[in-house]
């Protein structure tokens, strides 16, 4: 039957107050058994941890696995009350990242045990990408809309840089340009995309 209804709202469509509880407060609450605070705290670090991982790992699956490793260790530390200086939690999480990166083999074994004990906590973060048969969320559709407004060259940069994780050098070769130009094009495209993503979709603005 006809399907002209509006898209379902997602968290990304709802403006949120950028100011949230401090990590020190969240850490204290998490240590006291507040699972919601623990979840909020973990979410706060997800982008940074993934960025750290992306620097070292190319494959999207490997980035996700690394992120899981780090967050599982963090959840364990929070529940053990092992975060001694909550205001410095950022450095604490960075330390976890570096340790995980330094010894993946040892971590791989430990991961299995942690997964058994704390896997459900990770599952509850619900930060997965849509499965093949799922309807893509607002964020994905928004990016698709923004990409269609870019030039073909800029779309190529996004595909090569972020979907295929190519280096400046590889992108330069594919686009028949210099490495310096590839880097500039990549940065300009990134900034243009952020500008587009920070606004509502063109269709929504016009229909409002």
Partner 1 sequence: MTSDDAPPPQNDGWLVCLDDYVEGALSGQEMDAFEDELFARAAGARRDEDTAFFDAMARNAAWLARHAFGFRGGSTRQEVEALMASGRRRVHLMDLGAPGPKQLSAWPEGTQIVVTRVGVDLRGTTDVQVDVSFDGQTPIKTFRDCEYDPTDGALYAVCHEPLARLAFGQPRVVAQVTAVRAGQREVVGVYDARRGAP
Interface of this chain with partner 1, residues 78 to 137, rule: CB under 8 A: 87-91, 93-94, 97-98, 129-130, 132-133, 135-136
Residue from the set 28, 62, 150, 175 that interacts with partner 1 by CB under 8 A = 150
Q: Among residue numbers 158 through 177, which ones bind partner 1 (CB under 8 A)?
A: 158-159, 161-164, 167-168
Angle subtended by helix axes 104-123 and 89-102, to nearest 10: 130
Euclidean distance between CA atoms 30 and 22, whole angstroms: 12
Length of the chain counted residue by residue: 208
Euclidean distance between CA atoms 137 and 124, whole angstroms: 18
Q: Rounded to whole angstroms, what are the CA distances from 113 to 67, 86, 106, 142?
A: 16, 26, 12, 39
Residue with tokens 């950022």: 90
> Which range binds partner 1 by CB under 8 A, 5-13, 77-85, 104-112, 116-124?
5-13
Secondary structure of 32-97 as H, E, C letters: CCCHHHHHHHHHHHHHHHHHHHHHHCCCHHHHHHHHHHHHHHHHHHHHHCCCCCHHHHHHHHHHHH
Q: Among residue numbers 51 through 80, which ones bind partner 1 (CB under 8 A)?
A: 51-52, 54-55, 60
- Examine residue 143 and tell whether it contacts partner 1 (CB under 8 A): yes
Residue from the set 34, 65, 76, 156 that interacts with partner 1 by CB under 8 A = 156
Nearer to partner 1, 117 or 151 (CB): 151
Q: Among residue numbers 10 through 39, which ones bind partner 1 (CB under 8 A)?
A: 18-20, 22-23
Euclidean distance between CA atoms 32 and 202, whole angstroms: 45
CB–CB of 32/117 below 8 Å?
Answer: no
Nearer to partner 1, 18 or 116 (CB): 18
Total of residues contacting partner 1 (CB under 8 A): 78
Nearer to partner 1, 19 or 80 (CB): 19
DSSP structural state of residue 54: H
> Which range binds partner 1 by CB under 8 A, 31-39, 48-56, 75-83, 104-112?
48-56
Q: Pick the closest to residue 186 from 164, 168, 207, 205 (CA basis).
A: 168
Nearer to partner 1, 116 or 207 (CB): 207
Nearer to partner 1, 80 or 128 (CB): 128
Nearer to partner 1, 80 or 205 (CB): 205
């Amino acid at each position: 039957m006809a399907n002209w209804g509006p898209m379902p709202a997602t968290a990304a469509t709802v403006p949120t107050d950028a100011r949230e509880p401090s990590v020190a407060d969240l850490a204290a609450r998490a240590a006291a058994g507040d699972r919601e605070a623990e979840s909020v705290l973990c979410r706060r670090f997800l982008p940074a941890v993934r960025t750290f991982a992306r620097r070292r790992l190319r494959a999207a699956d490997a980035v996700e696995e690394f992120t899981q490793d780090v967050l599982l260790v963090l959840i364990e530390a929070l529940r053990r009350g092992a975060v001694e200086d909550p205001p410095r939690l950022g450095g604490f999480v960075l330390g976890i990242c570096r340790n995980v990166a330094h010894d993946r083999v040892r971590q791989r074994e430990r991961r299995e045990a942690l997964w058994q004990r704390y896997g459900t906590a990770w599952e509850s973060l619900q930060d997965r990408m849509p499965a093949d048969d799922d309807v893509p969320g607002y964020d994905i559709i928004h990016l698709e809309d923004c990409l269609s407004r870019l030039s073909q060259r800029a779309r190529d940069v996004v595909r090569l840089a972020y979907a295929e994780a190519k280096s400046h050098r590889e992108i330069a070769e594919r686009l028949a340009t210099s490495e310096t130009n590839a880097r500039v094009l990549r940065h300009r495209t990134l900034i243009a995309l952020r500008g587009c993503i920070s606004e509502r979709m063109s269709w929504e603005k016009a229909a409002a």
